[in-house]
């Protein structure tokens, strides 16, 4: 009985999606297909959080193409790439680290049907963030219940031309229950990622930013 309960708990955990993203205060995430900022500290954080052979990263084609060719696929992670073109070529057929899916649901089905993937991270772009945030928080289904947000506080980066949804103010009603977003304590962020994360406002290359975690629950 105990083994069954542990397996069910594991499946409940891995059926959740986590968004990981860096965004300005106006939710800008890109300009001309690239990040408007250079933050090695955030890149190191992204790698530390997502890199594990039991983790998957889900991304759209444009996000995949924004990764330098020599760094594709992202190592030590299962790469799931979404493109409407079923003939889109990711890599030579010999690779087992990257898989093409023509829609979000088939990508979700890949990791939801296996015990080999512990955590699944949505890493962009804007349409993938939008579509996954729109998944309703229904019992027994896959949806986003956590956002790891590197909030770019200054400068404003007004040149951003790509934005993610303003999820913090979003509420969803399911079966008469309202769900919304709250910011987690920094200690909870560290516990979830499993390592120490700098607390408070950080500064690098004249850019101020902060590592945050937001969780979805009943409100």
- Model confidence at 96, in pLDDT bands (50, 70, 90)? confident
pLDDT for residue 157 is more than 90: yes
Domain boundaries, the chain: 18-218
The class of domain 18-218 in CATH terms is alpha beta
Considering the chain, what is the average pLDDT of its residues? 90
How far apart are the C-alpha atoms of 11 and 140, rounded to whole Å? 9
Mean per-residue pLDDT for 111-135? Answer: 90
Q: Residue 15: which pLDDT band, with cuts at 50, 70 and 90?
A: low
Q: Which residues contact 45 (CB under 8 A, 6 or more apart)?
A: 150, 197, 211
Answer for the pair 52, 77: CB distance below 8 angstroms, yes or no: yes
Distance set, CA 186 to CA 76, 89, 151, 212 (Å): 26, 41, 14, 7
User: 127 to each of 60, 61, 104, 178, 182, how far by Cα in Å?
Assistant: 8, 11, 10, 24, 23
The span from the CA of 130 to the CA of 163, in Å, is: 10
User: Phi-psi region for residue 51, left (φ > 0), alpha (ψ -120 to 50) or beta?
Assistant: beta
User: What angle, rounded to 10 degrees, do the helices at 126-133 and 104-112 form?
Assistant: 70
pLDDT band per the 50, 70, 90 thresholds, residue 198:
very high
Torsion region of 27: left, alpha or beta (phi above 0 gives left; psi -120 to 50 gives alpha): left
pLDDT number for residue 174: 86
The structure tokens listed for 128 are 């993938």
Q: Please give the pLDDT value at position 138.
A: 84
pLDDT of residue 114: 67
Q: Which pLDDT tens digit goes with each residue over 56-94? A: 999 999 999 999 988 999 999 999 999 999 999 987 776
């Amino acid at each position: 009985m105990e083994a069954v309960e542990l397996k069910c708990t594991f499946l409940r955990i891995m059926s959740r999606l986590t968004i990981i993203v860096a965004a300005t205060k106006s939710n800008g995430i890109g300009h001309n297909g690239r990040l408007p900022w250079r933050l090695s500290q955030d890149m190191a954080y992204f790698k530390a959080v997502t890199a594990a052979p039991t983790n998957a990263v889900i991304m759209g084609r444009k996000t995949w193409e924004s990764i330098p060719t020599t760094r594709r696929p992202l190592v030590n992670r299962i790469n799931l790439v979404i493109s409407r073109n079923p003939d889109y070529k990711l890599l030579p057929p010999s690779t087992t680290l990257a898989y093409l899916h023509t829609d979000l649901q088939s990508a979700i089905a890949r990791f939801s049907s296996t015990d080999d993937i512990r955590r699944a991270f949505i890493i962009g772009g804007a349409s993938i963030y939008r579509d996954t945030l729109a998944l309703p928080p229904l019992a027994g289904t896959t949806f986003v219940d956590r956002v790891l947000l590197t909030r770019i506080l200054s400068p404003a980066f007004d040149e951003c031309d790509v934005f993610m949804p303003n999820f913090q103010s979003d509420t969803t009603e399911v079966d008469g229950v309202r769900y919304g977003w709250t910011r987690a304590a920094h200690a909870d962020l560290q516990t979830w990622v499993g390592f120490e994360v700098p607390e408070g406002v950080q500064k690098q290359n004249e850019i101020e930013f902060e590592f945050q975690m937001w969780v979805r629950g009943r409100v």
